[in-house]
Structures are given as C-alpha cells and as structure tokens.
Structure 1
Amino acid sequence: MATGWAGDGAVQDQIDATIADAIKRARSQAPRGPSLKHCEECEKKIPEARRKAVPGVRLCVPCQEEHDKQQAAHSGYNRRGSKDSQLR
C-alpha cells in the first residue's frame, strides 16, 4: 500500500537499488590482474597459497584486514536495515 507520494513498491525499489549499488561497489573493488609477490603497503612477501586463492591479490593478510576495517567504517550502508536507511 502506497503512502504519501510514494508509489506501490517504492520502498522495495530503494532496497533493490541499495543492494545493486553494494554489488557494483564490491565488483569494482575486486582485485584484477596478476597477484603481487610483495604487499604494496608493507612490502612483506605474500604467500603463494594466498596468491593462488585470491587472484590479483595486492595486500598481505594484515594489511587487507586493516583496509577492510577502514572500508567498513566508511561504507555508508546501514546494515541494521532500518526503513530510513533505505530511503535516500
């Protein structure tokens, strides 16, 4: 049921758009190209097992974890799923 100026399905459309944006962002940040043998942040050697498991890897595990923490802090997505967070 629509309320106010929103049409039927408007909230679901916003949710779908938010998910599509998150998928697009994740794909754009996926590693590409050949894996590096040394971390581009700290220059430590990246183990061969990691290079095989993650094609195009550029960071060692500790640097990747730190990078992921920083990305999560700035992601802009409300993971609790409040209605207000879905409406831009």
Structure 2
Amino acid sequence: MADIADFANDLVQERIDQALAARRVAQSELVVHSFLFCEGCDDRIPEARRLAQPGCTQCVLCQAIDEQREARHVR
C-alpha cells in the first residue's frame, strides 16, 4: 500500500519531468542562425560551415586568426 512518502515522491518526479519537458521545448525554440557574410572580411561564409557550426559569424580563416590572437594573449 502506498504511503504519503510514495505519493510525495511521485509528485516530485512528475514536476521534474514537466520542468525538463518545458526546458527541451524552450531550447528548441532558441535556433541560432549563422551569418551569411564574415564579420571580419565580408567574404561569404560557405554553407557547409554555416551548417556544421550554427551561429558562426566568421569564415574559417578569420576564425583561425582570432583564435591565434587569443592564444597569444593568454600566455
């Protein structure tokens, strides 16, 4: 026979499941779009890169230059 602790556990689990479902829905609504043109050199960003790296704002070359610059500043 179920007691009050079992009922409480079931209720908590139901709320957790609802919260996780709501979070999944919210995350799916946050679609990140890539830029069509690089913000560094204004060249067109290839579609393959935009699909592989959603939210990219730079072409591969400009991204590599930025990463090298950041690496030098970290040292």
Q: What TM bracket, shorter-length normalisation?
A: 0.5 to 0.7
Q: Which has the higher helix share?
A: 2
**Greater RCO (Cα-Cα under 8 Å, separation 6 or more):** 1
Aligned residues: 45
Question: Partner residue of 1:52?
Answer: 51
**TM-score (norm: length of structure 2):** 0.55
What stretches of structure 2 of length at least 5 have no aligned partner? 1-30
Q: Equivalent pairs: percent with the same residue? A: 42
SS of residue matched to 2:39: coil
What stretches of structure 1 of length at least 5 have no aligned partner? 1-31, 77-88
**TM-score (norm: length of structure 1):** 0.48
CA radius of gyration, larger in: 2
Tell me the C-alpha RMSD between the 2 structures.
1.6
The runs of 4+ residues in structure 1 deviating greater than 6 Å are: none
